[in-house]
């Protein structure tokens, strides 16, 4: 998806009181996002690039509806029904889109300790809330601990072969091998991880999927990957997002995040003990996900190069500073 998209057909699915103005917004790998202004009202249009499965989007919207029934200190997106009364619009080419009310605010800053601590508290509050919902629909994404089932087509041989696709990837052969070694170690441990407490999780709760005002996190976005998994995986995903090779103080940020989470909804001793393994599981999942994307020619090779560097660095840092 790019800026050559004709958004008219997507917007024609909805009733607007005034003409629409489409504004470019930061989009992730999995969807195209645009701000829509109509008079004084503002909306967010999301076009799903990653799949054409309407059931995934409808589950996402059901989870949002369940969360709306609870008293939360932050907002979650509100889907808008189209002219047919559905919150999911399906284009002639099969692409899916949804329209949401805009949540006013800014992206939080990872360099602001107050925002890092607030994200920890928000994650804990969201985890508590998701633990009490009972959607009618079943989860459609596999839990992280079923990594080998999820990436059966990207087994160890296929993954290591990705290092042969270019000179840049070949230079990272040691990183591929290190990640595959971690994968083999985790394969057996996943049986133990699967015994941890399970519930619905957001699954991709990172800074870019939240909204801040002043020092507070006031919105949580993008529930596309919501599923049932071990509860502690929610925190593992966020911690991993802070591990950056070019950030000399990321360990301080991790401490702020963990403090915020534990102050609000403490994990058990067993969950905290397994957190390093869950973090490595997330790093491996991301590496395998982008290996598949390159194989399917959805990304350029430099994208996987960056992911391999980051995942290998993350696993190495966890082994040296956290244990696992």
Question: What is the structure's pLDDT at 277?
Answer: 97
Rounded Cα distance between 181 and 175, Å, is 10
User: Above 90 in pLDDT, residue 226?
Assistant: yes
Show Cβ contacts of residue 249 under 8 Å, excluding neighbours closer than 6 positions. Answer: none
pTM score, whole prediction? 0.91
**Domain locations along the chain:** 8-53+77-101, 113-321
Share of the chain above pLDDT 70, in %: 96
Pick the CATH number of 113-321 from 3.60.110.10, 3.90.1200.10, 3.30.470.30, 3.30.420.340: 3.90.1200.10
How much is the average pLDDT of 44-64? 92
Rounded Cα distance between 244 and 18, Å, is 44
In whole numbers, what is the pLDDT of the chain averaged over residues?
93
How much is the average pLDDT of 121-128? 97
Rounded Cα distance between 207 and 81, Å, is 28
Judge contact between 286 and 198, C-beta under 8 A: no
Kind of pairing between the strands at 198-201 and 89-90: unpaired
Show Cβ contacts of residue 218 under 8 Å, excluding neighbours closer than 6 positions. Answer: 73, 74, 75, 103, 105, 211, 212
Judge contact between 241 and 202, C-beta under 8 A: no
Question: What is the structure's pLDDT at 27?
Answer: 55
Question: What is the structure's pLDDT at 3?
Answer: 53
| 240, β-bridge pairs | none
Sole residue written with tokens 């508290």: 121
How much is the average pLDDT of 101-111? 94
Judge contact between 79 and 63, C-beta under 8 A: no
Q: How far is CA 192 from the centre of its chain?
A: 24
Distances (CA, A) of 307 to 165, 187, 249: 15, 21, 20
Question: What is the structure's pLDDT at 323?
Answer: 56
In degrees rounded to 5, what are phi and psi of residue 217? -85, 120
Show Cβ contacts of residue 69 under 8 Å, excluding neighbours closer than 6 positions. Answer: none
Question: What is the structure's pLDDT at 49?
Answer: 82
Kind of pairing between the strands at 96-101 and 89-90: antiparallel
Judge contact between 134 and 272, C-beta under 8 A: no
């Amino acid at each position: 998806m790019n800026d050559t998209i004709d958004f008219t057909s997507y917007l024609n699915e909805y009733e607007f009181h005034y003409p629409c103005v489409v504004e470019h917004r930061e989009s992730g790998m999995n969807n195209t996002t645009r701000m829509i202004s109509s008079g004084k009202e503002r909306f967010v249009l999301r076009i799903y690039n990653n799949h054409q499965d309407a059931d995934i989007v409808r589950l996402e919207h059901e989870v949002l509806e369940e969360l709306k029934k609870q008293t939360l200190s932050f907002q979650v997106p509100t889907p808008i029904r189209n002219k047919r009364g559905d919150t999911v619009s399906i284009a002639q080419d099969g692409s899916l889109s949804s329209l949401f009310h805009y949540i006013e605010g800014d992206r939080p800053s990872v360099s602001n300790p107050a925002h890092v601590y607030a994200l920890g508290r928000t994650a804990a509050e969201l985890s508590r809330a998701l633990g009490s919902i009972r959607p009618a629909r079943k989860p459609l994404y596999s839990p992280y601990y079923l990594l080998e089932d999820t990436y059966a087509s990207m087994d160890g041989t296929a993954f290591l072969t990705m290092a042969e696709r270019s000179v840049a990837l070949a230079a990272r052969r040691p990183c591929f091998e290190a990640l595959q070694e971690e994968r083999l170690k985790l394969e057996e441990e996943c049986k133990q991880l699967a015994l941890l407490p399970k519930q619905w999780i957001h699954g991709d709760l990172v800074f870019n999927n939240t909204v801040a005002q002043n020092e507070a996190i006031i919105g949580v976005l993008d529930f596309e990957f919501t599923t049932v998994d071990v509860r502690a995986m929610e925190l593992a995903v966020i911690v991993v997002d802070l591990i950056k090779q070019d950030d000399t103080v990321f360990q301080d940020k991790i401490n702020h995040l963990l403090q915020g989470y534990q102050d609000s909804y403490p994990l058990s001793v067993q969950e905290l003990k397994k957190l390093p393994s869950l973090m490595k599981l997330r790093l491996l999942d991301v590496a395998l996900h982008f290996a598949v994307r390159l194989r399917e020619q959805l990304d350029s090779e430099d994208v996987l190069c960056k992911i391999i560097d980051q995942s290998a660095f993350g696993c190495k840092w966890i082994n040296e500073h956290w244990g696992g």
